[in-house]
Structure 1
Amino acid sequence: MASDATYETVYPALKGPQKVAALLLVMGKPLASRLLGHFDAGELKVITRAAAQLGSVPIEVLEELVEEFASEFSNGAELSGNVDRAENLLAGVLPPDQVADIMSEVRGASNGSIWQKIAALPAPVLTDYLAKQHPQVAALALSKLGANVAASIMELLPRERRNEVTRRLLVLAPVADAALRVIETRINQDLILNPPAPPGAQTARMAEIINKMAPEHVEDVLQALAAERPEDAEALRAKLFSFDDLIGLPQKSRQALFEKVASDKIVVALSGKDPEFIANVLSSLTARARRLVENELAGAGAAPTRDVAAARRLITDTLLAMAERGEVELREVVD
């Protein structure tokens, strides 16, 4: 028997799902079938994927893994885990459609469902991904998608890349199953199992954070960013919204916003604003709320700076939450 140092340097230690997969494969189908019935669908997918990728496991590793059964392996061959054995492990235990669903993910969904999932992704996401791939891979992927989806992607591809992909599509030959499976597995991992963030997602997330910051800090961040990355700063600025931007908000949106804000908060938020801004806000209130706010403003002195900032932040946060839910538009929609 090889020493521990010998086989451990050649074969890495098995992890949790790999240990389970190895034990199930060694047990054989009758006993393994009884055990598999105790796993849920998510666990079955993890175990099946581990079994399919297990490869050859040295007998020494198996002996260490299942000491109580060492005698059963001491004269046997090394264990080999692959896709076919993983599928055979599930057959007869689960319904055929569930086996097919699990194996489609393990194989990279070469039965076609992977392309249905890909086709459902936003065209900009697909375009950004395929633009970074070899033109032959992009052509193959487009050939597997529906005409409408492929057309949307082609329209968004850079001109030179579009022309190159078109030429390859015209002469695309059938692809060997093994090669197709490799490509499908990679695309499945990149787009389905580990989906990329949509274009602009990082900018939107940063805007969400900056919108919560005090105005003086916001401007400092934008100026620093503009010095290094002016285009990113401009894109970020376009997504920001402050209390002062209320004056440019569509009237319908302002009305919907102030229906959700208490009158006393409006009064505090308007403290120190110029007459034009106040009139703009008042025009968005109901008649009753307007009279109440006007009376409060007439008799109110300057509110504490902290209270003013908190009231304005409350109104802005309320608006941004409504916009995220699709209840209001932050800017006029141009038909």
Structure 2
Amino acid sequence: MIALDAGVPAPRVLQGPEKVAALLLALGKEHAGRLLARFDADELKTISRAAADLGPVSAPELEALVAEFTEELTSGTSLYGTAAEVERLLTGVLPPDQVQDIMSDVLGNTNRSIWERISGVSESILAAYLMKEHPQTAALILSKVKPACAAKVMGLLPADMRNSLMRRMLSFKPVVEDTMRVVEKTLHEDFMLNFARNMGVDTHARMADIINKMERDQMEDVLSSLAGTRPKAAEVLKGLLFTFEDVIKLAPRARMAILDQIPTERIVVALKGTDPAFRDAILSSLGSRARRMVEHELVTGEAVPQRDVVEARRAITDLALEMAGRGEIELNSDQEDRAFYR
């Protein structure tokens, strides 16, 4: 060990929070402020406490710290974020119990975050992507996304490919961590880093889905506002919207498929206040027994709150949208049943 001159204090070994505090103090208010905005509230408290208790930092100590930081930054090592890297980064910066608490949350989210986000990608985009991938990779991806997403994507794939992927998914063996990491990294780059581009393909459909869930007056207000500023977008959205009044525009088979799944009492409530032509169109899509029950209730039944009517109608339109999303019916069929308007 090298002897130190008498009276010269031994250089301190700065710990994680102290290192961060020292670097931020050395950077000055302007530059440090930009970095401080990246920390959350708990981290800021830790750094603030470390800075308050830091005391004097000699020039040699600061130079050693900067040299360490520079060496780490310029070592040429490529970066790829993992839970292990996050834990290594936090260790020493935060107390062990806080690191453990954060990591338990991180580990709970990392494995599912990428797959949850992939599950939210448009099924048509994901299906087109998988058709270009190796079947084993495609099967792995489908086995990790949400079942509802996988089902919709498979419905868009050719039958032979769909059957092949199912066989592969049934015979899967455990995937090694390194392979899964490569797949997740690639998906992150292909979808998440280009999310804005992917969203552009499906923006109108997503906006239509939001507007469909609004109240009627809110829906009309939004469309009116859009028509004044972005008329083309408003026209596209109008073509994608589906309201309770649009039910009678569906092909008879589609109407029957929807109403068969709606309880009779809910149909009665939904038809309260409708005009005779609309009511006849709905009743014609019911079985004879259900039709007699609905007609009887509409004649003899009591009045119901408007809130209940709105909820009943929304249940029908939501089911129609869900069935259309699964490819079970078509909402914008060219086949209009004009006989019901006579």
Give the TM-score, by structure 1 length. 0.46
Normalising by structure 2, what TM-score? 0.45
